[in-house]
Structure 1
Amino acid sequence: MPGNKGVKYEGPGKVEVHEIDYPEFTLQDGPGVNPGNVGRKLPHAAILKSVATNICGSDQHMVRGRTTAPPGLVLGHEITGEVVETGPDVEFIKNGDLVSVPFNIACGRCRNCKEGKTGICENVNPDRPGSAYGYVDMGGWVGGQAQYVLVPYADWNLLKFPDKDRAMEKILDLAMLSDIFPTGFHGCVTAGVGPGSTVYVAGAGPVGLAAATSAFLLGAAVVIVADLNEQRLAQARSFGCETVDVTKGDPRDQIEQILGVPEVDCGVDAVGFEARGHGREAESERPATVLNTLMDVTRAGGALGIPGLYVTGDPGAADEAARQGSLSIRIGLGWAKSHSLATGQCPVMRYNRQLMQAILHDRVQIAKAVNATPIPLEEAPRGYHEFDEGAARKYVLDPNGMLPKAA
């Protein structure tokens, strides 16, 4: 049995790479593991050798101490890997398959899974519907920022790449299928993006850039990306986006300069609960700012896609209401404008196969759009630090030295 190393959250602002247990076909107790999941038998699982595993903005919320994540939690929910072992109940996935792992953990058996709502599976998290690898309050499934990781319900969850050699040629693009590409795409689909749309994307981090890429893929005429980080705005402009610098004031005014009118057809929130204000308030946290701005700038009858993360508990929030996930949202404005809002985890399996085909057939270059940057697993602490400082990059960890020769 080979050794295993993984990235652990050790407390606010601190991650470290440690020796961790090699995966077993029984869920063991450990930091963050739900007591109801301890000892769970997993004959339907597969063990993967990680080829690529990404650092996500959602991970950063935990690392900043903005959740109740316990020290010792192995991080990582964006996983691409090679199957090295399967349980006795796995029928179709085979050793040697190169696969993408949806960040949602889903059983494929419950009502929600059968309806395609894999982000809110009823059988993998004893506390509430919905689960993910290496994430707080998500059932305690061990994270994938590691050399080896276990994936339950393998026949259901894993997306096999049809040609392994061809896939390795585009592995940095395909590594985005586990989360941010489908998540950005979902934000655009639920916002109603289509041919000729004008789209406002709040946030120029990796999910925002993935949403902007998705908007173009869906036929948008103009994609406007807003942020307060000039490096990230420059990255958005590099593939044809218009940009809004929210430090310069009300986005409505800048949207009007671009479009001639101060509103768009579709709005996407790719920021979430750690949002900052606009103009003079850009340095202070205003968690409801993005949602209220989207309602303000999206036309009457339009829709808002909200893939940005909001939580039920935020220990670092500025006030007691926000600590409970309660924000001062102008729901009256949204009601008056007949807005539709879609929230929650992206159901990755709804989109990942189609987006895989778009990558393999050169219809999109998502790795270039998000500036995917491979680094060794041992450099994960540096990646987390630089990402937290606002680097305009999507850091891709290379746990087993398989990316340099492929990228």
Structure 2
Amino acid sequence: MAGNRAVAYMGPGVVEVQDIGFPDLVLRDGPGVNPLNVGRKCNHGVILKVVTTNICGSDQHMVRGRTTAPSGLVLGHEITGEVIEVGRDVEFIKKGDLVSVPFNIACGRCRSCKERDTHICENVNPDRPGSAYGYVDMGGWVGGQSEYVMVPYADFQLLKFPDKDQAMEKIKDLTMLSDIFPTGYHGAVSAGVKPGSTVYIAGAGPVGLAAAHSAQLLGAAVVIVGDLNGERLAQARSFGCETVNLREHPDLGEQIEQILGVPEVDCAVDCVGFEASGHGANAGEAPATVLNSIMQVTRAGGRLGIPGLYVTGDPGGIDEDAKIGTLKVRLGLGWAKAHTFVTGQTPVMKYHRDLMTAILSGRAQIAKAVNATVISLDEAPRGYHEFDKGAARKYVIDPHGLVK
């Protein structure tokens, strides 16, 4: 039987490539696996040979020690792979198929799944609705930053690419379908972006860049991206975005007014989340900064898409309230302006087929937008370190050397 090497979180700031067991169609006990999920049979699943798997900003929250993730947790929820084994109950997915795996694990049977809310499946996580691979408190499904991974509910979840050769030519784009591209797109859709909109995107990390490109695809007239990192802002400008540097110029409304002539936008997207920093050269962590600033600069009646991650447990929170996800949000401001807020994980399956078609047709250039950078499995610890330091890249792990 083949071995299986994977990237594991070992403690704050430390990831290692380890030998783990080759997957089978049963969820075994291991770091982070919910006891009620141990021994769960997955004859509806498949085993994938991982072709690409990406490092996500959500992974970085764990690696920084900002969650309750246990040592030894295998990371990775952005997975694209080739089917090498098929469970006895799988009918339509075949051995040899090249597929994208939504990061949400969804059964296809519960009320949420039937209503297309696959991000809050009721049957895959014994603790609460919603689950994901390789993520803290998400049921313990083993992560995909590995050579091989098990994926349950294959017929329902997996997006098969129609032509394998064509898919491999565009694999750096298609690998973004598991999370980052649908997440950025969901943020823009949730914010109500439409032709002619003016849009503010908070955060120029990979999800922010994906949201900015998505806003362009949806017809936005002006897309403004804000961040504290000049290199990441340069990446946003590389595909036509306006930018504001909130380290150098902390007054967001004033900077927007210099671009648009008015200090407000039609809609905004929070792609930062709970580790937000205050604005200005010497500002420290202030987790409600983005939420409050986007309410400030979004016009009355506007919408706010919030795909940025907020958690209920943050050991590194700046105060006791922040440690349980209680933030000083100016809800009264949002109420007074009649804002609409849309939060939570992204229901990837609502969007991934359409976005695949946009990629294959050449309409979407997501790999270029996020500066996709391919590394080997052994280079993953370095990739995590560079990403944590603010590199303007989206790291794509190629475990088997299959990407040209």
Residue by residue over 1:358-389, the C-alpha shift from the partner in whole angstroms, topping out at 9 and shown as x without a partner, is 00000011000000000000010000000000
**Mapped partners of 1:327, 1:371: distance in 2:** 32
Q: Secondary structure of 1:341's match?
A: strand
Q: 1:16 aligned to 2:24?
A: no
The more displaced of 21-30 and 137-146 is 21-30
Q: Could you tell me which residue of structure 1 aligns to residue 27 of structure 2?
A: 27
- The corresponding residue for 1:269 is 270
- Measure, in 2, the Cα distance between the counterparts of 1:74 and 1:102: 17
Q: Given the superposition, is the C-alpha separation of residues 373 and 280 from structure 1 closer, same or farther in structure 2, using an over 3 Å criterion?
A: closer
**Amino acid in structure 2 at the alignment position of 1:77:** H
The answer for the alignment partner of 1:103 in structure 2 is 103
- The alpha-carbon deviation at position 279 of structure 1 amounts to 1.7
SS of residue matched to 2:47: strand
How many angstroms apart in 2 are the aligned matches of 1:264 and 1:177? 28
**Count of aligned pairs:** 403
Query: How far off is 1:249 after superposition?
Result: 1.2
Aligned to 1:253: 254
| Distance in 2 (alpha carbons) for counterparts of 1:249 and 1:176 | 32
CA-CA distance at 1:280 after TM superposition = 4.5
1:33 maps to amino acid: V
Name 1:207's counterpart in structure 2. 207
Taking the TM superposition and a 5 Å limit, the aligned residue runs for 1:335-346 are 335-346=335-346
CA deviation profile, 1:145-185 (whole Å, cap 9, x unmatched): 00000000000110000011101100000000000000000
1:97-132 Cα deviation digits (max 9, x unpaired): 000000000000000000000000000000000000
Q: Secondary structure at the match of 1:36?
A: helix
Q: Which residue of 2 aligns with 1:147?
A: 147
Deviation sequence 1:28-74 (CA, Å, 0-9, x none): 00000000000001100000000000000000000000000000000
Structure 1 counterpart of 2:190: 190
What is the alpha-carbon distance in structure 1 between the residues aligned to residue 392 and residue 117 of structure 2? 31
Give SS of 1:328's match.
Answer: coil
2:331 & 2:244 partners in 1: Cα distance? 24
Mapped partners of 2:190, 2:370: distance in 1: 21
Structure-2 residue corresponding to 1:218? 218
Match of 2:331? 331
Q: Aligned pair 1:81/2:78, yes or no?
A: no
Tell me, in whole angstroms, the C-alpha distance in 1 between the residues paired with 2:61 and 2:157. 25
Distance 1:252 1:355 in 2: 32
Rounded to whole Å, the distance in 1 between the matches of 2:242 and 2:300 is 22
Deviations 1:175-225 (A, max 9, x none): 000000000000000000000000000000000000000000000000000
Q: Distance in 1 between matches of 2:73 and 2:60?
A: 13
1:292-327 per-position Cα deviation (integer Å, ceiling 9, x unaligned): 000000000000000000000000011000000000
Give the letter aligned to residue 326 of structure 1: T
Aligned to 2:393: 393
- When residues 390 and 80 of structure 1 are mapped into structure 2, their CA distance, relative to the original with a 3 A threshold, is same
C-alpha RMSD of the superposition: 0.5
Structure 1 CA distance for aligned equivalents of residues 13 and 87 of structure 2: 37
Q: Could you tell me which residue of structure 2 aligns to residue 52 of structure 1?
A: 52
The CA distance in 1 between the partners of 2:59 and 2:221, in whole Å, is 32
Identify the residue that residue 165 of structure 2 maps to in structure 1. Answer: 165
Distance across 1 between alignment mates of 2:96 and 2:388: 35
Identity score, percent: 76
> Which residue identity lines up with residue 356 of structure 2 in the other structure?
M
Show the counterpart of 2:179. 179
Q: Secondary structure at the match of 2:321?
A: helix
Distance 1:280 1:105 in 2: 40
Secondary structure in 2 matching 1:23: coil
Alpha-carbon distance in 2 for matches of 1:149, 1:156:
17
1:375 aligns with 2:368: no
Structure 2 unaligned segments of length 5 or more: list them. none
Unaligned runs of 5+ in 1: none
Instruction: Determine the C-alpha separation between the residues in 2 that align with 1:10 and 1:400.
Output: 23
AA aligned opposite 1:122: E
Cα displacement (A) at 1:27:
0.6
1:280-299 equivalences under 5 Å are 280-282=281-283, 284-299=284-299
**One-letter amino acid matched to 2:278:** G
Q: Which amino acid aligns with 1:270?
A: C
How many angstroms apart in 2 are the aligned matches of 1:401 and 1:90? 28
Displacement over 3 Å in runs of 4+:
none
What is the deviation of 1:24? Answer: 1.1
Q: Match of 2:61?
A: 61
TM-superposition CA deviations, 1:236-272 (whole Å, max 9, x none): 0000000010111111000000000000001000000
| Distance (whole Å) between structure 1 residues aligned to residue 156 and residue 294 of structure 2 | 36
- Provide the rounded CA distance (Å) in 1 between the counterparts of 2:338 and 2:6: 47
Q: What is the SS of the residue equivalent to 2:60?
A: helix
Query: Counterparts of 1:68 and 1:258 in 2: how far apart (Å)?
Result: 42
Distance in 2 separating the partners of 1:267 and 1:303:
7
